[in-house]
Structures are given as structure tokens and as C-alpha cells.
């Protein structure tokens, strides 16, 4: 004989499920969750679809960060999570905006873990969906675009005695640190 207690199914109210999810993710996720909550109040399927896509993409990227989080200082995790939220916010989204490609994002994470820059970068997204990290210190600049399969493009710039100097480089993400050192601006990346 099957009793009622065996047949009963615990149904968690949506608000409780959202609270549990928020507890498991970063402090920046409540912003994402509140955006999802407002989706119901917006008119039109396009708005709801965009909010759902933005939330899903943020979640995918944060899960990718969580796979390497044991190798990241808390300040790095918080910075990356905050910038993921900013890059995928409904208020700043436009028709020209691009979602970050997962395989390119993993290249960025590998760079952060293995090259271990000491300075936090600003993050952006190229028109092709590749993450772009930037470090700026006065007239010295480093821009690195991370691509699939551990490839990166870097553009470095500095002022010299003869005027502005810039170089570009493309190659394995494991060689960026050496390239930046050779150009003489490693300190802006915290090396």
C-alpha cells in the first residue's frame, strides 16, 4: 500500500526557488533575477525573450567562472561577475551588442588563471562575441581579445621619447605575458 506521504511531491514556490538560486550564486545575481521578475510586467514577447536570453547568457558565463573559481581570488570573481552583469544588462543592451562566446570566454579564464595578472582589467565584447580585456595606465595601454582555442590578439601602446609607439600580436594565450614584458608595460597588468 502506498501512503500519501510517499505520493506527495514537494513543490517549492517560485520565490523560494529564486531565493535558493540567489544564495548559490554571486551577490550580483539578484540584479539578474530582478530583471527576470520584471519580464512579466513588460509588454511584448521580444522583451521577455531578450530578458530570458540575457539572463541565460549571464548564467552560462558565471557557471564557467565557477569551474575555475578555486584558482581565483575573491576580488577577481566579484569583478568578473559584476562585468558579466554590466555587459548583459537590459538597460545597456542595443541591437549592435554581442553575446560573449563561451569558448572565447574560457580562453580569457585560462589567461587569468595561468598568466595571473595582478591588475583587474576592464572587460568588453568585440562585434564577433570575443571578450576583450583592457588595462590602461596613463599613456600605456594593453588590449587583449580572447578567441577560441586559446588564441589571443593583443594591441599594446606606450609613449616613448620619439612619440607614441604601438604593436600588435596574435598567438597562443600562453605567450601573452612574455610579449607584454618585451614591450615594457608589464606593470600595468600587475606583473
How many Å apart are CA 62 and CA 178, to the nearest integer?
29
Centroid of chain to Cα 107? 11
Q: Where are the domains of the chain?
A: 14-92, 100-191
- The pLDDT of residue 44 is 59
Cβ partners under 8 Å of residue 111, min gap 6: 117, 133, 144, 146, 152, 173, 176
Taking Cα atoms as reference points, which of 156, 168, 150 lies closest to residue 114? Answer: 150
Q: Over the chain, what is the mean pLDDT?
A: 84
The tens digit of pLDDT for each residue in 120-174 reads: 999 999 999 999 999 999 999 999 999 999 999 999 999 999 999 999 999 999 9
DSSP string, 88-147: T-TTT--TT--PPPHHHHHHHHHHHHHH--SSPPEEEE-TTS-EEEEEEETTEEEEEEEE
The tens digit of pLDDT for each residue in 92-117 reads: 898 889 999 999 999 999 999 999 99
How many Å apart are CA 150 and CA 14, to the nearest integer?
40
User: Which pTM does this prediction carry?
Assistant: 0.75
Question: Percentage of the chain surpassing pLDDT 70?
Answer: 77
* Band of pLDDT at residue 37, cut at 50, 70 and 90: very low
**The three cell numbers locating residue 87:** 555587459
The answer to whether the CB of 51 falls within 8 A of the CB of 42 is yes
The answer to whether the CB of 145 falls within 8 A of the CB of 152 is yes
Cα distances from 39 to residues 32, 90, 137, in angstroms, run 11, 11, 40
How many Å apart are CA 149 and CA 166, to the nearest integer?
26
How many Å apart are CA 148 and CA 114, to the nearest integer?
16
Amino acid at each position: 500500500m502506498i501512503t500519501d506521504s510517499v505520493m506527495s511531491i514537494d513543490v517549492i514556490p517560485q520565490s523560494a526557488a529564486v531565493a535558493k538560486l540567489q544564495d548559490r550564486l554571486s551577490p550580483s545575481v539578484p540584479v539578474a533575477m530582478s530583471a527576470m521578475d520584471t519580464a512579466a510586467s513588460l509588454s511584448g514577447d521580444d522583451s521577455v525573450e531578450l530578458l530570458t536570453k540575457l539572463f541565460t547568457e549571464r548564467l552560462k558565463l558565471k557557471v564557467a567562472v565557477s569551474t575555475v573559481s578555486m584558482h581565483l581570488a575573491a576580488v577577481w570573481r566579484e569583478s568578473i561577475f559584476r562585468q558579466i552583469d554590466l555587459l548583459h544588462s537590459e538597460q545597456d543592451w542595443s541591437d549592435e551588442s554581442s553575446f560573449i562566446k563561451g569558448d572565447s570566454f574560457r580562453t580569457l579564464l585560462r589567461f587569468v588563471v595561468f598568466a595571473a595578472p595582478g591588475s583587474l582589467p576592464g572587460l568588453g565584447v568585440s562585434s564577433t562575441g570575443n571578450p576583450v580585456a583592457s588595462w590602461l595606465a596613463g599613456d600605456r595601454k594593453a588590449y587583449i581579445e580572447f578567441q577560441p582555442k586559446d588564441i589571443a590578439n593583443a594591441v599594446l601602446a606606450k609613449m616613448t621619447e620619439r612619440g607614441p609607439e604601438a604593436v600588435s600580436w596574435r598567438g597562443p594565450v600562453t605567450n601573452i605575458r612574455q610579449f607584454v614584458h618585451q614591450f615594457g608595460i608589464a606593470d600595468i597588468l600587475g606583473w
